[in-house]
């Protein structure tokens, strides 16, 4: 099971370049086998951004849920993703036990 991380950015956003680096760094640190991330241009996907409640950039959506409305520090992002990874692992373990 993959956790999808979407970083919403916009042209002219001064903090968005740093946000891309932070997200990429955290995803690489935690392992890309369970994490997938992409940058989303709010202008190109405005309807999607509005449906999620995004009012400013950068914003981070995890599995379709607006989690950070601004750039968090890397520790906060890493903590959030680690918690979600642990939930995924627990779910996978339970599913494996059921199948056995």
pLDDT (tens digit per residue) in 67-96: 999 999 999 999 999 999 998 887 766 555
Q: Tokens at residue 95, please?
A: 């599913």
Q: Tokens at residue 85, please?
A: 């990874």
Apex CA 91: angle with CA 90 and CA 92, to 5°? 90
Instruction: Give domain limits for the chain.
Output: 3-99
| pLDDT at position 87 | 87
How far apart CA 85 and CA 44 sit, in angstroms, is: 29
How far apart CA 7 and CA 16 sit, in angstroms, is: 9
Note the pLDDT tens digit of each residue in 7-46: 999 999 999 999 999 999 999 999 878 899 999 999 999 9
| CATH 3.40.30.10 fits domain 3-99 | yes
Asked whether the beta carbons of 2 and 36 are under 8 A apart, the reply is: yes
**Mean of per-residue pLDDT scores for the chain:** 90
- Asked whether residue 1 carries a pLDDT value surpassing 90, the answer given is no
């Amino acid at each position: 099971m993959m956790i999808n991380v979407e970083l919403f950015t916009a042209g002219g956003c001064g903090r968005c370049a740093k946000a891309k680096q932070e997200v990429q760094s955290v995803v690489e640190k935690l392992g890309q086998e369970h994490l997938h991330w992409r940058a989303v241009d709010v202008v190109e996907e405005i309807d999607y951004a509005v449906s999620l409640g995004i009012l400013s950039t950068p914003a981070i959506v995890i599995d379709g849920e607006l989690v950070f409305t601004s750039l968090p520090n890397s520790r906060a992002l890493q903590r959030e993703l680690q918690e979600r990874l642990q939930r995924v692992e627990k779910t996978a373990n339970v599913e494996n036990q059921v199948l056995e």
